[in-house]
Structure 1
Amino acid sequence: MVHAYSAGGDFGRLRAEFELPDGFGADVLAEAETVAMDPPAAVAPREDATALPLVTIDPPGAKDLDQAMALERRGEGFRVHYAIADLGGFVRPGGRLDREARRRGQTLYLPDGNVPLHPPVLSEGAASLLPGETRRAVLWTIDLDSGGEPTATRVRRALVRSTARFDYESVQAAFATGTPHPSIEPLPALGRLRRELAVHRGAVEPQLPEQAIGGDAGDGWVLGMRPRNPVDAWNAEISLLTGMAAAGIMIEAGIGVLRTLPDPDEESVNWLRRSAQALGIPWPAGTSVSELLAGLDPALPESMALYTCSTRLLRGAGYTSFAGGAPDSTSHAGIGAPYAHVTAPIRRLVDRFATEVCLAVSAGAEVPGWVQAALPELPSLMSTSDGLAARVERACLDQVEAWMLAERVGSTFEAVVLRAEEARAEILVEDPPVMGRCAGANLPEGERITVRLTAVDVERRKVSFERA
């Protein structure tokens, strides 16, 4: 994280405003304690995969560990072992935990503490793939050829034991010094292959830096920009690979739930092409949107502006459930292929149900009735929780920005114009790293300008700029 600035305050008012739950009811906690100590019997035999040298890669301090991996080189190709926490092995269909999880939809992340999907006794304890602990998991094994394309997929319930917990920076440092853990030694080679395939598939991936809030109890909150490092991108490719494999299983079986995003229409692509021309970014004939975005330098202001413009192509994301045959539209434009959520069941409701479909289909069994009954309502449940999560995340960032800038009204800052409208523009202030709106006509997209902070409303979480 770079460009760090501290700000005081707490998020209690924000939690109340969004009516976020404060803990779990006694009945939900009681059921969670019971299943953590004595999980329900497995619906199928579990393979003993505790000998696999699995490792986890997560943000520092994370305890709700959904995924663990062990990668192998096989001749010219690769084998991916990807263990996913098995929430289906704990949550009884129709029980108190199940009903509460459906009400919440997903874990919400706030700087002063999460609002978890499941009680911590599960999410940070019995279900989490913590190192040195034998855990119930859904184990995916995917074989890939020398080009990184899958050739075989197997999914089943298993017992696993993670051998180590890493974070992105420590893994990046290990690769830099040539000392990676053997279980992830193939990650750069496979990750790069999968990144190249994503471009060839036409995946639309704006490489915008991410605002992030950190801090500790003594020094207040810290706001910075978190660029995506290579390990983050490579690690994400393993999750995406698994999600695409899951989508393929469900589409072939004609039952399941996909994460979908319509392909951009011709008008939107032409609009992006005009934006690139205005920014002075060459767009050679025959170059796809994916290829163009992948070739930009993220450090340049005009690149950030075009990345922001390209988000217009990624509208209409949702979930599509189906039974009795595959739906007409199965694509996800951001990935360039059909895709399903199955790799984060501790933190996201839909993953548990999609995983049960894949397990049943792979075993040649009928999809459980409780899963079939839930499929039609999952798109609505997830869309509602996705919307809440996005609003809460934005509100937290806006609040910290307002706290940071409250005493600096009248000051000037350097900023990049990301997207201009008729009388205002979306800007990225570089120092401190603040996303905001700037009043002014004909502001130059993709250029650096000087802006003046004109007002801060801490209560409403609003900051206002004008061109200086």
Structure 2
Amino acid sequence: MQPTRAVPDFDAVRAEFALPEAFPPDVLAEAERASAERPGPGPGRFDATHVELVTIDPPDAKDLDQALGVTRRGSGFRVHYAIADLGAVVAPGGALDAEVRRRGQTVYLPDGSVPLHPPVLSEGASSLLPDCSRAAVLWTFDLDEAGEQTGVDVRRAVVRSRARLDYAGVQADVDAGSVHPAVAALPELGVLRRAHAVRRGAIELELPEQQVVPDGAGGWTVQVRRRLDIEAWNAEISLLTGMAAARMMLDAGIGLLRTLPSPEPEALKAFVRAARELGFAWPDGASVAEQLAGLTAADPAALAVRRAATVLLRGAGYAAFDPAAGLPAPADPRHGGIGAPYAHVTAPLRRLADRFGSELCLAVAAGEELPDWLRAALPALPEAMSASDALAGKVDRACVDRTEAALLTARVGEEFDAVVLRPAGRDGEPGEVYVPDPPVLARCTGALTAGALVRVRLMETDPATGRIEFAAA
């Protein structure tokens, strides 16, 4: 049976979470004035328009934060990574600065976003659009033949992207052996950096990533987005930059880190035990990163193992530190999911912390004192970012849940094939199943065994709240 046409009410989601509808007039006026200023080369801003760079984003993206160039250099590699320079246009203490601090980050819904910055900046004057000179924070990395970083430089620059590419197009070019010259070496370096991630203990869950998309008939549907190799390689360059920024901050004794505590020993033991119970050999001393990297994507039991690994990635937060101002450095500065200290600096159009992180690194690299406004902002940033992260996650989940419920509302009583991700808890908490068609994650009651393929019956849906409940058939 074909699913019904789903018309979820995303405006109700906006209202429920009190998302702002528009920018105040004074903020828009300041953004318009800022968009008219185009910083050019000169003292304090390097002319890098000769550097071959391209952007790689989803096809409908307009807020282009990063432009990338990866080339061979001797036996190793050189990476240029240009980040939109919001510090050049957002005046500290102004109306625009106050508004973006209140918003925290761009919140995405299927039918449009609630942007961090007015579109005249985020989709216009500050976006790294092709064939336009733009103010940027330019990171330059040298790496050896194994993809290990040997040098890093960061400075303000003017850059000029050569092309606006999308993931599917670049992946097709990679498969055909005809990659854009600006990123010709990215596939080779990307593979090396992915191996580096496993060695340092990065935990990649690779659970099904649901997204709400138009169904072609005026409604919406849910799909599982397949992550392409080029996306993983591109993400490794962002991680390389964030790790370099964190190291710079830690060496300077001041900064803003994205943190995730290492798993508690008991949680790790419980996860290994669960994986073995699902039939996976786990040699003594093997790392979680190595074991997850070796799982087969299509194996139902492997999906349950990945779901079980989510317990290892709890407690994410932000840590601002400035001992001179009474903010001690975190006892554990690492991000457990990345396997190294990490800082947000690569998405300033969409995330508040990145502008401040970039300004910190620019000052440290230049051997300059941090400006007073930057130092004063640090203590409040962790709470602001944690709150906006939570809000963005809830909005995304609400949109997916309500679309799922709308798709299934006429199918109550039907049976579906499912993979058991988590059995029911001893306290009576329902288990969790993944239904591949349509791709739905939902609660399920009854006797369930993690990793098993089962038939489940749809018992309840509520498109207004997104509630869906199955029972073992």
Query: Are 1:35 and 2:34 an aligned pair?
Result: yes
Which portions of structure 1, spanning 4 or more consecutive aligned residues, are displaced by more than 4 angstroms? 3-6, 39-44
Aligned to 1:452: 457
Q: Residue type matched to 2:195 in 1? A: E
Q: Which of 397, 400, 413 pairs up with 1:397?
A: 400
5-14 vs 245-254, which deviates more? Answer: 5-14
Cα 1:43–1:364 shift into 2, 3 Å:
farther
Q: Which of 357, 360, 364 pairs up with 1:361?
A: 364
The 8 Å contact of residues 41 and 158 in structure 2, kept in 1 or not, is answered as: no
SS in 1 for 2:153: strand
The 8 Å contact of residues 4 and 222 in structure 1, kept in 2 or not, is answered as: no
Aligned to 1:71: 70
Q: Residue type matched to 1:371 in 2? A: L
Aligned to 2:159: 160
Deviation at 1:224, TM superposition (A): 0.4
- Alignment map for 1:68-467 (pairs within 5 Å): 68-215=67-214, 219-324=218-323, 326-422=329-425, 423=428, 424-441=430-447, 443-467=448-472
Q: Residue type matched to 1:460 in 2? A: T
TM-score (normalizing by structure 2): 0.96
The 8 Å contact of residues 259 and 319 in structure 1, kept in 2 or not, is answered as: yes
314-323 vs 39-48, which deviates more? Answer: 39-48
Q: Residue type matched to 1:426 in 2? A: E
SS in 2 for 1:20: coil
The 8 Å contact of residues 416 and 428 in structure 1, kept in 2 or not, is answered as: yes
Structure 1, residues 401-425: CA drift from partner, whole Å, max 9, x if none? 0110111111111111011123421
Deviation at 1:139, TM superposition (A): 0.2
CA distance in 1 between counterparts of 2:208 and 2:309 reads 14
Cα 1:385–1:44 shift into 2, 3 Å:
farther
Structure 1, residues 71-122: CA drift from partner, whole Å, max 9, x if none? 1101111000000000000000010110000000000000011000000000
Q: Residue type matched to 1:388 in 2? A: L
Structure 1, residues 220-244: CA drift from partner, whole Å, max 9, x if none? 1121001221111000000000000
CA distance in 2 between counterparts of 1:184 and 1:88 reads 27
Deviation at 1:311, TM superposition (A): 0.7
CA distance in 1 between counterparts of 2:208 and 2:178 reads 28
242-251 vs 210-219, which deviates more? Answer: 210-219
Deviation at 1:4, TM superposition (A): 9.7
CA distance in 1 between counterparts of 2:98 and 2:437 reads 45
Q: Residue type matched to 2:53 in 1? A: L
CA distance in 1 between counterparts of 2:41 and 2:31 reads 17
Query: Structure 2: which 5+ residue stretches go unaligned?
Result: none
Q: Residue type matched to 2:87 in 1? A: G
Deviation at 1:43, TM superposition (A): 11
TM-score (normalizing by structure 1): 0.97
Q: Residue type matched to 2:25 in 1? A: A
Q: Residue type matched to 1:402 in 2? A: A
CA distance in 1 between counterparts of 2:78 and 2:418 reads 45
342-351 vs 183-192, which deviates more? Answer: 183-192
SS in 1 for 2:161: strand
**CA-atom RMSD in angstroms:** 1.6
The 8 Å contact of residues 320 and 329 in structure 2, kept in 1 or not, is answered as: no
CA distance in 1 between counterparts of 2:124 and 2:432 reads 42
Deviation at 1:292, TM superposition (A): 0.6
CA distance in 1 between counterparts of 2:82 and 2:200 reads 26
Q: Residue type matched to 2:421 in 1? A: L
CA distance in 2 between counterparts of 1:154 and 1:408 reads 57
Q: Residue type matched to 1:435 in 2? A: L
Deviation at 1:343, TM superposition (A): 0.1
CA distance in 2 between counterparts of 1:41 and 1:186 reads 29
CA distance in 2 between counterparts of 1:107 and 1:217 reads 26
CA distance in 2 between counterparts of 1:168 and 1:420 reads 36
